[in-house]
Structure 1
Amino acid sequence: MIALVLLGILALVVGGCVCVVWAERGGPRWARAVAAVTLGAGELLRRSGKNRSQDLDQSTGGGE
């Protein structure tokens, strides 16, 4: 069951990356919408990763 969920997530990620490339080359409107969602989700994940690493540095006393 977990493998199916991971495969589904992988399919969404790969599909989103394909839409980003396709939209960059002037793809249809729906591909541009999927690309925008994909890029937005990536930015949110990047920001949450930075926040977690900063929180971890503060809690362990590192980063100074």
Structure 2
Amino acid sequence: MLVLVLAVVVLLVIGGCVCVFWEARGDAPRWARGVAKATLLGGELARSTSRNSRSRQSTGDE
């Protein structure tokens, strides 16, 4: 079951990356632009969460 969930997540990530690439070319339909924006937003949220956890760890070591 866990493998199935991970496979679905990987497929969604790959699909999001394809939509970002398609949108960057400029000929993507409206739905692909929405998926691309959601993918980029998710990446920014993951990046900011990662930065916040690192900054908490570094301040805890002092």
TM-score computed with the length of structure 2 as normaliser: 0.94
The alpha carbon displacement at 1:42 in A equals: 0.2
- Percent identity (aligned): 48
Q: Does residue 53 of structure 2 align to residue 52 of structure 1?
A: yes
1:1-64 pair list within 5 angstroms: 1-26=1-26, 27-61=28-62
Q: Aligned partners of 1:2, 1:57: CA distance in 2, in Å?
A: 32
Q: Aligned partners of 1:57, 1:36: CA distance in 2, in Å?
A: 32
Tell me the alpha carbon deviations over residues 16-53 of structure 1, each in whole angstroms, 9 at most, x when there is no partner: 00000001112111100000000000000000000000
Structure 2 alignment gaps of length 5 or more:
none
Give the match's secondary structure for 2:53: helix
More deviation, 21-30/36-45: 21-30
Cα RMSD, aligned residues only: 0.6
- How many residues were matched structurally? 61
Structure 1 alignment gaps of length 5 or more:
none
